[in-house]
Amino acid sequence: SQELEQSPQSLIVQEGKNLTINCTSSKTLYGLYWYKQKYGEGLIFLMMLQKGGEEKSHEKITAKLDEKKQQSSLHITASQPSHAGIYLCGGTDTNAGKSTFGDGTTLTVKP
Amino acid sequence: NAGVMQNPRHLVRRRGQEARLRCSPMKGHSHVYWYRQLPEEGLKFMVYLQKENIIDESGMPKERFSAEFPKEGPSILRIQQVVRGDSAAYFCASSLAGSYEQYFGPGTRLTVT
């Protein structure tokens, strides 16, 4: 089964700084998604990537998927305290069925 | 259009009791997935169901855990004779048939005392 590894495990940045979170799959993915989770709450869908080389942006968050569809990065520009939380990458290796998730990256943004 | 609903949001059970977690998928979604998030760990797949059918239960513990998604009504994740190690957040997601886009519910936080 596929494995997803996220790095770093945790990240502390000063407000206004840029940051990147990485997600690497052991297999080629059919689809990859990024979620944000506030401690003790559910998952908030951020973005979904399906095509090799695809890049999507929403407000100050940009996600990319490499051509081989095994590696993704999430980049936050000019971070704010509202960006704090746990970022999870998830992926499927088929067009339907279960998702595998990374262990998450805990982001702290210091004002 | 309501999203995925889960209830209860919080559930406290004593060791040995049964826990029943409910998930109502989004309207029109016929596929349901259950995931478990243990403290300080990531989400782990448990089971994937269609109406009246279990598609993939490779992530379900062999004993005490069962899941169903009947023709009518919500999907139920049932844990019999709960133990402290079952304490976790249980998330349900739903999707349209043949789609990998899963929409998550808010989760049920189970605490076993």
Q: With CA atoms as reference, report the closest residue to A45 among B31, B63, B88, B26.
A: B26
What DSSP string describes A73-86? EEEESS--GGG-EE
Average pLDDT over chain B reads 93
- pLDDT value of residue A2: 60
pLDDT exceeds cutoff 80 at B2: no
pLDDT in tens, A43-93: 888 999 989 999 999 999 999 999 999 999 999 999 999 999 999 999 987
Peptide bond preceding A8 in cis form (omega within 30 of 0):
yes
Greater pLDDT, A43 or B63 = B63
Residue B29, phi then psi, degrees to nearest 5? -85, 130
Q: Which tokens sit at B49?
A: 């169901």
Average pLDDT over chain A reads 91
Q: Which residue of B has its CA nearest to A36?
A: B104
CA dihedral in degrees (B89, A94, A60, A104; nearest 10)?
40
Percentage of residues of chain B with pLDDT beyond 90 = 81
Q: Which residue of A has its CA nearest to B36?
A: A101
B104 and A42 in contact by Cβ < 8 A?
Answer: yes
Q: How far is CA A52 from CA A48, A60, A69, B73, in A?
A: 12, 22, 5, 39
Which residues does residue B34 pair with via DSSP β-bridges, in sequence order?
B47, B92
Selected residue of A21, A32, A43, A65 to mutate for chain B interface (largest B Cβ count, 10 A): A43
pLDDT band at B98 (very low <50, low <70, confident <90, very high): confident
Q: Buried (b) or exposed (e) across B56-71, using 16+ Cβ within 10 A?
A: ebebbeeeebebbbee
